[in-house]
């Protein structure tokens, strides 16, 4: 009986200690909710009315000032049957894939290259961040100066090398390539920072153990670096996908959506529909369809984040 009492004593103490712990956790959750509530209420007040009105407007055929007549799902049907929408959707997909994976490849490679300590490393990091830091208006003007006219630097260089007259922004294919490269240029610093932060979280002893076991740099990249930075990678892909799909300034400032609508993305098409063609219902319908796709893609990527073991 003494042994049973001795055994049951600590168990009783653990149970009694569990109650204060559970109440402390509940109190902490309540505190966190109370702290977040003002921001949540403010976001609802700022965004709820415009979002609700825009959703209602997508079911009407009015203008910018009047709601117009209720037409049901006709705007959405018109969007899905419009060749201009599918052309913009295909370019948006191309632009997003290049923006996400192109900038990730460049940024992550630079993060790995800048991980070892060497003289001038911090200076290189600052210089490599300039495309992200400099305002987009300045960057787009610089690229226009490089490629816009036949007398610009890159067309002149291409002609002197025997490639003929290359029209970077006048030819539809070259314009798409130029816009995608421009997106990679202004986005790789973000990926580089995300990759550098993820690399810093890896314990150096892991590299030392792998080196002692004879792992090559390629094997360390495949079996150590990529798996241990997977969560950060997926999160950066989610953020860059949202940035790319909603990127209006990059395309509009460089090409305006031309030539012949070759670089017109969905966000540019929505802008033209609302503010140039004065069809807000049509433009808002495009925006809501973009939102549905983005939410679905984000959910899929967040599932990959949860599946990551590291």
| Res. 67 pLDDT band, cuts 50 70 90 | confident
Tell me which of 23-27, 229-233, 263-267 is least confident.
23-27
Domain boundaries, the chain: 1-57, 74-307
1: pLDDT strictly greater than 50: no
97: pLDDT strictly greater than 90: yes
| Res. 309 pLDDT band, cuts 50 70 90 | low
Q: Where are the alpha helices (DSSP H) in 58-165?
A: 74-80, 83-97, 103-113, 121-128, 130-133, 136-147, 153-160
C-alpha distances in angstroms, 266 versus 34, 41, 213, 252? 38, 30, 51, 12
- Residue 149, by phi and psi: left (phi above 0), alpha (psi -120 to 50) or beta? beta
CA-to-CA distance for 20 and 4, rounded, in angstroms? Answer: 26
Structure tokens at 25: 């956790």
Degrees (nearest 5) of the Cα angle 284, 290, 293? Answer: 145
Q: List pLDDT tens digits, range 41-57.
A: 888 788 788 888 888 88
To the question of domain 74-307 being in CATH 3.40.50.620, the answer is no
Q: List pLDDT tens digits, range 250-273.
A: 999 999 888 888 999 999 999 999
3-state SS assignment for residue 218 = helix
C-alpha distances in angstroms, 112 versus 152, 196, 305, 310? 34, 7, 22, 19
Do 175 and 255 form a contact (C-beta atoms < 8 A)?
yes
Residue 10: per-residue pLDDT: 46
**List of residues 6+ apart from 145 with CB closer than 8 A:** 152, 153
Q: List pLDDT tens digits, range 158-213.
A: 888 888 788 888 889 999 999 999 999 999 999 999 999 999 888 888 888 888 88
The mean pLDDT of the chain is 85
What mean pLDDT do residues 96-117 have?
92
Residue 6: per-residue pLDDT: 44
Picking from 140, 139, 113, 136, the residue whose alpha carbon sits closest to that of residue 125 is 113
C-alpha distances in angstroms, 93 versus 42, 250, 268, 283? 33, 15, 14, 18
Picking from 270, 273, 267, the residue whose alpha carbon sits closest to that of residue 250 is 267
Please give the model's pTM, rounded to 2 decimal places.
0.82
Do 169 and 175 form a contact (C-beta atoms < 8 A)?
yes
């Amino acid at each position: 009986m003494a042994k049973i009492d001795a055994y049951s004593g600590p168990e009783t103490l653990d149970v009694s200690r569990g109650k204060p712990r559970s109440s402390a956790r509940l109190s902490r959750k309540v505190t966190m909710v109370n702290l977040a509530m003002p921001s949540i209420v403010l976001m609802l007040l700022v965004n709820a009315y415009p979002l609700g009105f825009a959703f209602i407007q997508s079911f009407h055929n009015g203008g910018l000032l009047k709601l117009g007549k209720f037409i049901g799902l006709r705007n959405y049907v018109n969007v899905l049957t419009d060749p201009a929408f599918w052309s913009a959707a295909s370019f948006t997909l191309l632009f997003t894939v290049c923006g996400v994976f192109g900038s990730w490849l460049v940024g992550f490679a630079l993060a790995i290259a800048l991980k070892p300590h060497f003289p001038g490393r911090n200076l290189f990091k600052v210089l490599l961040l300039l495309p992200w830091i400099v305002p987009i208006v300045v960057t787009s003007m610089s690229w226009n100066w490089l490629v816009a006219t036949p007398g610009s630097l890159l067309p002149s260089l291409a002609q002197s090398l025997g490639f003929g007259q290359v029209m970077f922004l006048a030819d539809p294919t070259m314009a798409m390539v130029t816009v995608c490269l421009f997106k990679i240029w202004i986005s790789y610093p973000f990926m580089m920072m995300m990759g550098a932060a993820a690399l810093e979280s890896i314990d150096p002893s892991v590299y030392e153990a792998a080196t002692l076991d004879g792992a090559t740099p390629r094997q360390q990249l495949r079996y150590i670096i990529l798996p241990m930075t997977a969560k950060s990678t997926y999160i950066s892909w989610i953020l860059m996908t949202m940035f790319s799909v909603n990127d209006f300034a990059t395309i509009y400032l460089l090409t305006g959506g031309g030539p012949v609508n070759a670089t017109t993305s969905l966000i540019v098409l929505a802008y033209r529909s609302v503010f140039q063609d004065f069809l807000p219902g049509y433009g808002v319908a495009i925006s809501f369809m973009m939102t549905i796709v983005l939410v679905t893609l984000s959910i899929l990527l967040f599932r990959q984040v949860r599946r990551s073991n590291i």
